[in-house]
Amino acid sequence: MKMNGARILLECLLKEGVDTVFGYPGGTVINIYDELFSCREIRHIMPRHEQAGTHAADGYARATGKVGVAIATSGPGATNTVTGIATAYMDSIPMVIITGQVPTALIGNDAFQEVDIMGITRSCTKHNFLVKDVKDIALIIKKAFYIARTGRPGPVLVDLPKDVQIAKTEFNYPESVEIRSYKPTTGGHPRQVSKAVGMLLAAQCPVMYVGGGVILSNAAEELTILARMLSIPVTTTLMGLGSFPGSDEQSLGMLGMHGAYCANMAMTHSDLIVAIGARFDDRVTGKVATFAPHAKIIHIDVDPTSIRKNVRVDLPIVGDVRDVLAKMIKMVEKSTSEVEAYRESLRPWHAAISSWKNKHPIAYTRSESVIKPQFVIQKLTELSDGDAIISTDVGQHQMWTAQFFQFNKPRTLLTSGGLGTMGFGLPAAMGAQAAFPGRQVIAICGDGGIQMNIQEMATLVQNRLPVKIVIINNNFLGMVRQWQEIFFEKRYSQTCLELPIDYIKLADAYGAKGFLATKPDEVEDVIRRGLREEGPVIMEFKVAREEKVLPMVPSGASLNEMLLNA
């Protein structure tokens, strides 16, 4: 039976198991929306801005591990998705973004709402396609999903001209796809894996340095098994939080610019670093020339271009980290007696780490008169569901969440790591809640970031998505203000948000509930009331205005040169 291109697109999405899309209608996608009208198998959620729709698809993907899908019309609709696409690209999130385009005969003519979205997104997509023939839609969509989810995941954009959506052809969806120029390596080479195990069993001060790749490959269980078998300390990046239980005694917490003292000191004094699904970002390494000066480095990553890109590597292993860790576990299991002796040999190393933990723990000075933001995060950890999904915006509250919220499971922290996108937290939570309507989803935001996509309160209410929003309100763009205080003699240039916004009235205007805490003894009650409500909620906390995120490694300094005190 012949179908038009718009219907073929939806049939392709169904074949790929897509149950939810986030999109905004417009002239060049009106045919897709006409077909969506009668397609009950796909839930469509319309954001109030295309950027938010793309972030929502991103949050859906991070929370589920599936490919997130977003739709936008041509021109400004397409350009509004770019920040969301770049966010997903930096954090390796699998997404397919479908944009409408002017009819093929008008491409290049500066037609109404025409833009070269292919050229614009070439640097921030894993791949992109322009569909020129209705007969190509099925194969291109198959390729798009395959590319998005395999190897190092990432966003793929499909640009679909209006005349291609209208044209008709037979629908045949390919069972599999072969792309000659794209063949990611997934199996780690056994010889390299064996060398890695040998280096591990010879090390006296090893550290596992874990990034978001462990979560993306669903390898948290394998990581935990191997770390516990060998009693190796584990530190994670921001993107890796939850891949290893934060409550485990072997956990060092997050490392890097705002990482734990013990994690940064362990990296500095380590003799072997096993980097697993991490890319040695500048926020982690500090001054590269002095990074881990005594350590040999094993780097495990599915993306060969990430290895040796930023730091020297003694043993590269290209492959899916789940496969590599599973092979390492099997090899270690064959060396029972050697493993017991090895675990015993690490006692002095664990003693050194314990001393660092005790010397400078992640802590803050409590107050009876003003709400400390760290206290709010601690209370959220205590009072929220152990299975809660937490999203954040970017800034001080993001770092306090990383430091003080205890993540014990993968895919429970959704945050913009590589791009650092303000406005991410609310729509990402929206996507996660759409994926898991029965789970508790909490968006932790600053008073700066929340206003970048605050319009999505309407989407939450309309779609009955009971996201709980925590606003850490210090009336500042807090992280920039902190830098201005420390490095620019308190010249607070354009970081003071003086206009008092009544977020409780704002919540009410959208048809949601709002609660406010201005004193420490009100915090627990507001959190309990907010989490108890059935629908969307804003919980606002007026916090200490000039509280800083510490520890802090200044830009250009070494990891062991941390600012520890206010």
Active site residues: 50, 112-113, 162, 479
CA 157 and chain centroid, separation: 19
- Between CA 410 and CA 42 the distance in angstroms is 27
- Between CA 467 and CA 461 the distance in angstroms is 9
Buried b or exposed e, range 49-61, using 16+ CB within 10 angstroms? bbbbbbbbbbbbb
Distance between terminal CA atoms of the chain?
A: 70
- Between CA 105 and CA 132 the distance in angstroms is 10
* Residue 351 near residue 374, CB atoms below 8 Å: no
Instruction: Pick the closest to residue 102 from 78, 61, 74, 130 (CA basis).
Output: 74
- Between CA 86 and CA 117 the distance in angstroms is 13
Rg, C-alpha atoms of the chain: 24
* Residue 213 near residue 321, CB atoms below 8 Å: yes
How far CA 258 is from CA of 404, 422, 561, in Å, comes to: 12, 18, 12
How far CA 278 is from CA of 1, 20, 284, 334, 467, in Å, comes to: 48, 30, 10, 28, 30
H or E element that contains 505: helix 503-510
